[in-house]
Structure 1
Amino acid sequence: MAFEIEIATDPVISIEATSLRQKLDLAADAVKACDPLKAIQYLDAVLAEKPDTHQARLVMAQALTLLDETEEACKHLEKASRRAGQDLQKQFEVALAFAECGEKKRAEEIYRKLMRKEPRIASARINLASILDERGETQAAVDLVSEVIEMFPDNAEAYSNLGRYLANAAMFDESEACYRRALMLKPDLIQAAVNLGSMLQNAGRTQEAIQLYQQALSVTPHNAKILWNLALALLATGDIENGWDLYGYGFESGTRTPLRPFPGLIWKDEDLADKTIFLWREQGLGDDFRFSTVYHDIVERAGHVIIETDPRVVPLYQRTWPGATVRAETRLASGFENYGDIDFDLTAPAAMPSIHLRRSLDAFPKNPPRLVACPEKRARAREWLSSLGPRPKIGITWRSGISNALRDLYATQLSDWKPLLDDDRFDIVSLQYSKPEEELAKARQELGITIHEMPGLDTHDDLEGVAALLCELDLTVGSWNAATEMAGALGANALVFAPIENANQLGTGSLPWYPSLTVYPQAPFWDREALVSLFRQEAAKRLIG
């Protein structure tokens, strides 16, 4: 059966701790077990006895961060920094803790101060480089780690981080060379192995990544990040059962979010008759649409279903499952003691029904139930589309809402679509979200093309309106993103390009969740002109004959 983290891999045993060291150790164990309230109990006792305990402040910040109490966490870290004084090691630990709780600017200040005091502190440069890279200052990050390599030619961590920045810039060959060098210098540097595997997956070399993860697990068999990456790689190659069985490590590795611990209440495929089950959104909006395709099964099995999702999607889900309780998502959890009265018998994050009920390709229905768009909004969309004239209407979305070098490998620009946009057999309608106005204006001015926008439709906030428009279009084409995921969940026809060997394709080259989507997997550095030509031919074949 599938493994799924509840609140801990091992419960924290409450014992009578007699020494400060015992209490600190128990607090640290509680944080690792995602039980921040238990940790705070021990830490309060430590700080009441000895307020200047450096480690207690750091662990307290971790516990408070788990509770989303960042401001209080920072207060403890500021106290730790003041008490650390000129102790460079303790200041480094404080900077690391600031970064972990999301206060990257404050961490940067401390790292830079450390570098001024002691220019040869390699770890401060390496960690500062990571902050700069996350902020989009990749060249500055590369410069910093290059300085470390110049000072310390055998610093494996510097090579590993340089490999990561190059991988994020889609410089796969250079990145691989850096990771291989790091592992040659330090064979047990697990992070380099994990990142090399991730780079190989992004480059479409999934089988090589699997071999690397398995080798790394022989050294550290319980590493959650490796197990999570392995889960995705196995799913990508069609090893569905084994991939799902490791999927729970996504929470333990910090990748699946938000973490909402409900100890003793996680659904493990028990009978749901006469039970109320609470399902909650995880990861991105597209993931929620994909995993919601299995909610139909849960609604049939359960006595009652409670669903928490993005507020923009609540009406769509409520219409689809009128007998369910659908409400806007929160991050509350019984494990954090802030959920209030428990109004369900069992609970599951959104992916859990798929883990239990989609363990083979045969388990995916050929004609699945669909999300139900608003009839009134559909009528308005239909009326507006009709006003454009008799030609077939094609919706287009050309990129993701997030832009970086890796994402941009699978993004397009409107200029790439000019052959389709110029085809006077079709009317083209924009479905793009994330502020496309400048791109559309530039395309109209420089390319002389017409892309229609439905009056009054906010493609980011009015997802009910987007759902209605998707249902009324003759076809949608473009990037695999939240809009095309929604099209699939609605049963709307679409031609979609996506990264090759992605976990959600389950080794098929398609998206088994969505029979109405035709997927065209692309390797990095793919031929956009050829794909647009193919889409144009397929659109003509489907819509004109």
Structure 2
Amino acid sequence: MSASALAQADAGAAPIHSGQIAGAIGDSASTEAIERLKQATQNVKNAENSKLLTRAINAVHTGAYDKADKLALKLLKRDEQLGLAWHILGIAREKNGDYASSLRAYEAALKLLTDHAAVAGDLGRLAFRMNMPDLAAKFFAHFRLSRRDDVEASNNLACALRELNREAEAIEVLKEAIAANPTAPALWNTLGTVLCNAGDAAGSMIFFAEALSLNPDYTKAWHNRAFAKSDLGDVKGALADCDEAMKRPALPQDLAIMHFARATLLLALGRLEEGWKAYESRFSHELSEAPHFYIGGTRWAGQDLKGKRTLIIAEQGLGDEIMFANLLPDLLEDLGPESAVTLAFERRLVPLIQRSFPGVEVLPHRTVAYEGRVWRTVPNVEDWDQFDYWTALGEFLSSRRGSLEAFPQRKAFLTPDPERVAYWKAELEKLGSGPKIGILWKSLVLSAERARQFSPFEDWEPVLRTEGATFINLQYGDCEEEIAYAKEVFGIEIWQPPGIDLKQDLDDVTALCAAVDLVVGYSNATMNLAGAVGTPCFMLTGASAWTRLGTDYYPWYPSVRCFVTQQYGHWTEAMANVADALRDFVAR
């Protein structure tokens, strides 16, 4: 994939990143970068071009990026083969937030400049920031070819490899770099993040401590140690480290991650009033995953909505949309029939939401990735003026879920298709007697941060060997390998429901979830659907999962029973507890 391949595309909406900060270090406009650019101008023979390049470089140095952009374009009109002008244009547009155009400019510079290692480094950082780790790894590897022992080159390549779940390769890169640069805190810090993402939070603490011993003011190490403490169940300690990190200057995007991480820590401690207020940080422009709403009209700011026409748009990932829909029954009841409400949900959820709230207009929203940002809109709305206000669904959390007592104990808040529930019940009866247990073991979104939240499939053996249970596959995505493994190694058949796409047919998936006797697994979209329709669930979760809101249960879904591991990456005990509980369930 080339840099210029970036285009508008449907984005798989995901929850906002609240984890580690071990991103690419370096800066395309740093003092060192400016000096490299100035030295490169000495090789430009045309005196006028050299003079314009110097002015453009000085503009970058002083932060006058619009001026640098104009001067670079002026140079390219004179000579479109001038690689330095393309490089400066790339820097200026990156700094102004025009990531797509910046990528194209950097790519042009990469092709034209003889000494293009620095451009590859800039391209890698930009691709990394835009959540394109595969592309970033290629550019960082290219950058490192000419700087084998360079801290920036090795650190950044290791970061990209980590995000690709290639931890072993990342560790090898870092070991070599640390041998050459043992006093570089960035390398120790990144090594800690690699171990933490691999599920070894305890081991990672050693490397964060080393980074902080080398530089007690190293913000990223404070924040990342907070992340590791959270993984180990020490949420109070994590909050203390997070607060320490925020005392120190940081890049704006790092600080935005810290603010959002702090919000989730407060929620994990059950401090809901503070937590929901801090949760507003999820909309920070500095968070690359934060949704930018392309919606006309007036955004709601707490006004009385009774008698008003309001568009409420679901936010973040699919699981969050379902979970936050917990708000809708009492919210719509309070607004009353005199208020006209339009709901916007992910298109696969529209039939389910419409059935659950029949008096409300439900439209599909659309999410696209464009120029390094995530945009969400409602394409079926042609006239935004028809609404008095619009707002994101999560904006009601603070006022309506400000305490644990505010969570209603209703069994279900979404309504599956009764005909499809009956159909699936009949199909399940054909499998024989005994309870039918739906299982879920992974997510399609397995970034380095998220992968540790799921166990290896091998850990499911004690659960799947439960006598008397019939297991039903509810896991979306490619599951052939795991289903074959269960049959060949465990001797267990996992029934694959025929005629259903478990990723796309979410209305039918919901009916299937309602038809089984129990769902066992991790918190992905399907688990949320099962909980929302009141199906009994055994949910595997981490000690510091913020969505439990400081409890040992799951406030969003009364039918969910939680099985908590004290450390991500260590699921054996939790799995054994699930197996014991499942035997009791089957016996009953």
Q: TM-score, normalised by structure 2?
A: 0.77
Deviation at 1:247, TM superposition (A): 0.9
Counterpart of 1:330 in 2: which secondary structure?
strand
> Does 2:258 match 1:226?
yes
- Which 10-residue stretch deviates more, 46-55 or 430-439? 46-55
> Does 2:501 match 1:458?
yes
Query: What is the match of residue 8 of structure 1?
Result: none
Query: What is the match of residue 15 of structure 1?
Result: none
Alpha-carbon distance between aligned partners in 2 of 1:76 and 1:341, rounded to the nearest angstrom: 37
Counterpart of 2:209 (choices 168, 172, 180) is: 180
Alpha-carbon distance between aligned partners in 2 of 1:466 and 1:294, rounded to the nearest angstrom: 22
Percent of pairs with identical residues:
27
Query: What is the match of residue 160 of structure 2?
Result: 131
Where do residues 267-346 of structure 1 align in structure 2 (5 Å cutoff)? 267-302=300-335, 303-331=339-367, 341-342=383-384, 343-346=386-389
Deviation at 1:316, TM superposition (A): 0.8
Contact 1:108–1:131 (CA under 8 A) maintained in structure 2: yes
> Does 2:421 match 1:389?
no
Where do residues 348-359 of structure 1 align in structure 2 (5 Å cutoff)? 348-359=391-402
Query: What is the match of residue 491 of structure 2?
Result: 448
Matching residue's letter, 2:582: R
Matching residue's letter, 2:268: A
Alpha-carbon distance between aligned partners in 2 of 1:95 and 1:404, rounded to the nearest angstrom: 18
Instruction: Mark the CA change 1:417 to 1:324 in structure 2 (over 3 Å): closer, same or farther.
Output: same
Instruction: Mark the CA change 1:384 to 1:113 in structure 2 (over 3 Å): closer, same or farther.
Output: closer
Instruction: Mark the CA change 1:255 to 1:508 in structure 2 (over 3 Å): closer, same or farther.
Output: farther
- Which 10-residue stretch deviates more, 525-534 or 373-382? 525-534
Deviation at 1:215, TM superposition (A): 1.7
Contact 1:296–1:369 (CA under 8 A) maintained in structure 2: no
Number of aligned pairs?
508
Matching residue's letter, 1:540: V
> Does 2:426 match 1:380?
no
- Which 10-residue stretch deviates more, 431-440 or 461-470? 431-440
Contact 1:170–1:405 (CA under 8 A) maintained in structure 2: no
Contact 1:374–1:468 (CA under 8 A) maintained in structure 2: yes
Alpha-carbon distance between aligned partners in 1 of 2:71 and 2:141, rounded to the nearest angstrom: 31
Higher relative contact order (CA 8 A, sep 6+): 2
Alpha-carbon distance between aligned partners in 2 of 1:62 and 1:336, rounded to the nearest angstrom: 26
Alpha-carbon distance between aligned partners in 1 of 2:104 and 2:71, rounded to the nearest angstrom: 17
Counterpart of 2:531 in 1: which secondary structure?
helix
Instruction: Mark the CA change 1:65 to 1:323 in structure 2 (over 3 Å): closer, same or farther.
Output: farther
Counterpart of 2:509 in 1: which secondary structure?
helix
Deviation at 1:257, TM superposition (A): 3.5
- Which 10-residue stretch deviates more, 262-271 or 328-337? 328-337
Contact 1:61–1:101 (CA under 8 A) maintained in structure 2: no
Counterpart of 1:428 in 2: which secondary structure?
strand
Deviation at 1:259, TM superposition (A): 2.9
Cα deviation code 1:102-146 (max 9, x no counterpart):
555554454444433343432122112212222232222222222
Unaligned runs of 5+ in 1: 1-18, 29-38
Instruction: Mark the CA change 1:96 to 1:394 in structure 2 (over 3 Å): closer, same or farther.
Output: closer
Query: What is the match of residue 533 of structure 2?
Result: 490
Matching residue's letter, 2:200: M
Query: What is the match of residue 26 of structure 2?
Result: none
Contact 2:349–2:506 (CA under 8 A) maintained in structure 1: yes
- Which 10-residue stretch deviates more, 149-158 or 79-88? 79-88
Instruction: Mark the CA change 1:243 to 1:202 in structure 2 (over 3 Å): closer, same or farther.
Output: same
Instruction: Mark the CA change 1:299 to 1:22 in structure 2 (over 3 Å): closer, same or farther.
Output: farther
Cα deviation code 1:435-487 (max 9, x no counterpart):
22222223223322233232212222221121111112222223232222111
Please provide the CA RMSD for this pair.
3.4
Query: What is the match of residue 585 of structure 2?
Result: 539
Counterpart of 2:476 in 1: which secondary structure?
coil
Contact 1:81–1:91 (CA under 8 A) maintained in structure 2: yes
Matching residue's letter, 1:468: A
Matching residue's letter, 2:326: T
Deviation at 1:314, TM superposition (A): 1.4
